Structure 1
Amino acid sequence: MDTTYHGYEHFWLNPTFWVAISFILFVLLVGRTAWARITSMLDARGARIQADLADASRLRAEAEALRQQAEADRAAALAEAEDMIARARVEAGRVAEAAALEAEQSAKRRERMALDRIAAAEAGAIAEVRNAAAEIAIAATREVLTETMDAKKDAALIDSAVADLPRALRAA
């Protein structure tokens, strides 16, 4: 049996063996260093991703809080708007009632003023008719007296009125 390896008596004397060992050692050393760098980069990237996830979670929580606040603000604004509408309706009703009352009072005042004017015009017309009737009666009396009275009848009427005067004063 031949115990030579490619011309070498022992395998550890073969340069290919030592190149292979050197290569394996080189790969182990470089791999270890590269592995350390790769793992540190992966750890750093994992930490960055974790931080980004934490930020995203925080931002999501903030957005949710803002959404809830916006909904609460919207509900408050809606309630305030409904309250304002209710107050406006009440105020409109009050103003309408006041306007109706004012219109009614104004109509009553105008009616009273019209009735007062009518009454004044009626009173003036009655006074004019009375004055005209009195003037006509005086004129008619004057005419009747001038036609029917003479000096004798006039003297007799005066004497009769003077004689009747004490009795009329006692009665009054």
Structure 2
Amino acid sequence: MAFLNNTEVVVTLGFLIFVAVLGYLKVPGLLASKLDQRAERIKADLAEARALREEAQALFASYERKQKEVRDQADEIVANARADAERAAETAKEDIRRSVARRLSAATDQIDAAEKAAIRQIKDRAVNVAVAAAGDVLRDRIKASDGNAMIDAAISEVGARLH
């Protein structure tokens, strides 16, 4: 057994025995089976990951659509609110214009009425002053007998005009 002194031969024999024991115990089949099982688990995990990814993408797309719809609705609400505000402003402006016109008309009517009242007062005052002045003049110039004759003539004239 001199060949056992050579380390290369011993290592080779040990390796061959090791490989034979592995073959006898069916370790390569077990390793292949375990590797196949692991490959199947990895494939299942990959398939599940793909499914989850597709589901996540679909969910993301759904959220993006919903976000766009909400943004569109918000834009529409803002546009409607602006339009309503503009209509309300125009209505308010028109109401203010009408109110100012009514108040201006009322003020003009009050001014006209005040003018007419002032003119009437002035005329009444002028008539009173003229009557008083005429009375003073007539009293100074007309004698009592002439005054009675004039009163009688005025009464008969009024009577003739009334009938």
Query: Where on the TM-score scale, by shorter chain, does this alignment land: which range?
Result: 0.7 to 0.9
CA distance in 1, matches of 2:159, 2:122: 36
Give me the TM-score of the superposition, normalised by structure 2.
0.78
1:140 aligned to which of 133, 142, 151: 133
1:124 aligned to which of 96, 104, 117: 117
Note the alpha carbon deviations across 1:110-168, whole angstroms, 9 max, x for none: 21122022112212211221222122112212211211222110121133235445533
Which protein shows a greater Rg?
1
CA distance in 1, matches of 2:154, 2:107: 50
1:107 aligned to which of 100, 107, 111: 100
Correspondence 1:149 to 2:142? yes
Deviation at residue 76 of structure 1 after TM alignment? 0.9
CA distance in 1, matches of 2:61, 2:44: 25
User: Quick one: which amino acid aligns to residue 159 of structure 1?
Assistant: D
Counterparts of 1:13-24 in structure 2, within 5 Å, are 23=17
Deviation at residue 93 of structure 1 after TM alignment? 2.3
Distance 1:164 1:79, change over 3 A: closer
In structure 1, the residue matched to 2:21 is 26
CA distance in 1, matches of 2:98, 2:44: 78
CA distance in 2, matches of 1:112, 1:157: 51
CA distance in 2, matches of 1:124, 1:138: 21
1:88 aligned to which of 63, 81, 102: 81
CA distance in 1, matches of 2:147, 2:66: 109
CA distance in 2, matches of 1:120, 1:164: 37
Distance 1:79 1:135, change over 3 A: same
Deviation at residue 78 of structure 1 after TM alignment? 2.5
User: Quick one: which amino acid aligns to residue 124 of structure 2?
Assistant: N
Give me the TM-score of the superposition, normalised by structure 1.
0.75
In structure 2, the residue matched to 1:42 is 35
Deviation at residue 25 of structure 1 after TM alignment? 4.8
Distance 1:95 1:27, change over 3 A: closer
SS of residue matched to 1:81: helix
Name the Cα RMSD after superposition.
Answer: 2.6
Identity of aligned residues (%): 33
